[in-house]
Structure 1
C-alpha cells in the first residue's frame, strides 16, 4: 500500500493553505467592490436628494423639468413620484410622493363625474384638459405622460382604470370601469376617433367587411349593455337615418 511521505503531506497542506488564502483574498475584493458600489450609490442618492430638494417647486410645476428628473432617477431604479408605498425614503426626504397620489385622486374625480355622459370611456387629451382645469394654476401643468403614470399606479386598486392605445399614431382613451373591451369594440372606438365620435352600421360594414349582423351587434352592446355610445335616430340631411355617437371620441367645450 502506497503511503504519502512527509514531503507529500507538506505539499498538500501548502496547497490547502493557498486555497484558503485565495478564498480570503477573493472575499476581501468582493466586499471591497460591494462597499465601493454602495458608497457610489449613496453619493449619487445624496446628490439627487439635494437637487430634488432645491428644485422641488420646479419638479411639481414644470412638466419638462419633471420628466428630466424622472429620467435621472430611473438610472438608479428609483421612482420618487410613485407615492409613499413605492417611493420609499423619497416620500419622507422630499415630500414628493403625495404628488402622484393627488393627481390620481383628481383623475378619479373627473372620470367618475363624466361617467354618466361617456359610459366610462374618455379621451386621454380630454382627461388632461379637465384635470388641468380642476387643478387650476396653483396645481401646476400636467402632461399626458403624467396622467398615464398615475393611472398605472391605480391598477393595483383593481378599479379598472386603463389606458387604451389604438396605435398608428391614433388617439388614446382611458377606461375607468372594470370591464374588458373586445376587438370589435376597439375597432368601433378607433373609427369613432377618426370621425369625431360618429359611426354607423353601414360604415362599419364597408370599412371592415363585416356582416350587417356583426356591426349591429357590437353597436347594440355598446349602447344598451355598456352605455359607451348614444343613438341618433334622426341622422342625416332628411332626419331619417340612424347613427351612433361615442362621447369619448367627441370634442367637448365645457
Structure 2
C-alpha cells in the first residue's frame, strides 16, 4: 500500500508539472501575441504618418511608389489595389481608383492601336502612349505600374497579358494565344526592327519556304499582326510587324 501511495503522489506531481508547463506556455504565447500586436499597431501608425507626409511623392514618383508598396506588403496591405482591396489606406492616399484609372487608360490605348498592331504592343510603346493620355497632372508611370494594372484586368477575360518576346516585354490584348510560329516571327522581327521576309525565316529558323510564307500570310490576313509592303526595294514583298518597330516619340 505504501508503494501505491508513493506512485499516486508521483503521478499527481507529474500532472501538476504538466499543468504548470501548459499555463506557462499559454502565458508566454499571450505575451508574444500581445507584443506582436503592439509592434504591428506601432508599424501601422508609423506607416500611416509616412503615407500622409509623402502622399504627393507616392502619387507622382514610380520609384517612391514601389518602395512604399513594398513597405505595405510586409503587413498585407495594398493601398493601390482600388477601393475594395485597398481599404482606408487607398482612401487616405486619395488613390482609391488609381489602379482602376490606369487600367482604363491601358485598355483605351490597346483598343485604339489594335488595328495597327493586331493586339500586340511593346510595353515601352504602351507606357509612352498611356503617359501622353494621362498628361503631367497624373504623374509618371513605369513598367511595374503597367504590369500590376494588367494583372487586375485578367479576371475580365479580355485576354490582357504580358508576354516576353526575345527579351522584350509586350502586352497582348486579344484572347487568342500566340502560337509557336508567331512567337518565332515576332522574336526575329524584333531583332530586325520589324521588317521580315520569308528568306530570313528560312535562314534563321530553318523553315521551308512554304512554311515561312504561310506563317507570314497567316499573321497578315488571319491575325492582323503585321503589314505587307508589296513595293519593298530589296525583296519586292516584305512584311512589317508593328509591335517590333521602334516608333518615334
Q: Normalising by the residue count of structure 2, what TM-score does the alignment of the two structures yield?
A: 0.92
Post-superposition offset of 1:62:
1.2
1:99 correspondence with 2:98: yes
CA–CA distance in structure 1, aligned partners of residues 33 and 181 of structure 2: 54
Q: Is the 8 A contact 1:161 1:178 kept in 2?
A: yes
Instruction: Name the SS of the counterpart of 1:97 in structure 2.
Output: coil
* 1:149-168 alignment runs, 5 A limit: 149-167=148-166
Contact 1:49 1:94 (C-alpha < 8 Å) held by counterparts:
no
**Which residue number in structure 2 is paired with residue 241 of structure 1?**
236
1:3 Cα deviation (Å)?
Answer: 9.6
In structure 1, C-alpha distance between the alignment counterparts of 2:199 and 2:36, rounded to whole Å: 65
Give distance in 2, aligned partners of 1:146 and 1:66.
Answer: 9
Matches within 5 A, 1:164-203: 164-167=163-166, 170-203=167-200
RMSD: 1.9
> For 1:206, which of 185, 189, 203 is the aligned residue?
203
Partner of 1:141: 140
Secondary structure, aligned partner of 2:103: helix
Structure 2 Cα separation of the partners of residues 135 and 94 of structure 1: 19
Cα distance change of structure 1 residues 206 and 3 upon mapping to structure 2, 3 Å threshold: farther
Deviation of 1:141 (Å):
1.1
Aligned pairs, number: 249
Hey, what's the Cα distance between the residues in 1 that align with 2:237 and 2:2? 103
1:220 is displaced (CA, Å) by: 2.0
Task: Indicate the SS of the match to 1:103.
Answer: helix
Structure 1: unaligned runs, 5 residues or longer: none
Query: 1:200, 1:242 within 8 Å by CA — same for their partners in 2?
Result: yes
- Give the aligned partner of residue 50 of structure 1: 49
Residues 217-245 of structure 1: CA distance to partner in whole angstroms, max 9, x if unpaired?
Answer: 321221122111112222125xx621111
Q: Secondary structure at the match of 1:5?
A: helix
C-alpha distance in 2, partners of 1:79/1:214? 48
How far does the alpha carbon of each residue in 1:106-131 deviate from its partner, in whole angstroms, 9 at most, with x for none?
A: 10111111111111111111100100
Contact residue 119 and residue 227 of structure 1 kept, 8 A: yes
Task: Name the CA distance, whole Å, in 2 between partners of 1:189 and 1:211.
Answer: 18
Equivalents in 2 of 1:102, 1:13: separation in Å?
69
SS of equivalent residue, structure 2 residue 89 = helix
The separation in 2 between residues aligned to 1:82 and 1:3, in whole angstroms, is 73
**Deviation string, structure 1 residues 47-84 (Cα, Å, up to 9, x no partner):** 11111122111111112211221232233343221223
1:252 maps to: 247
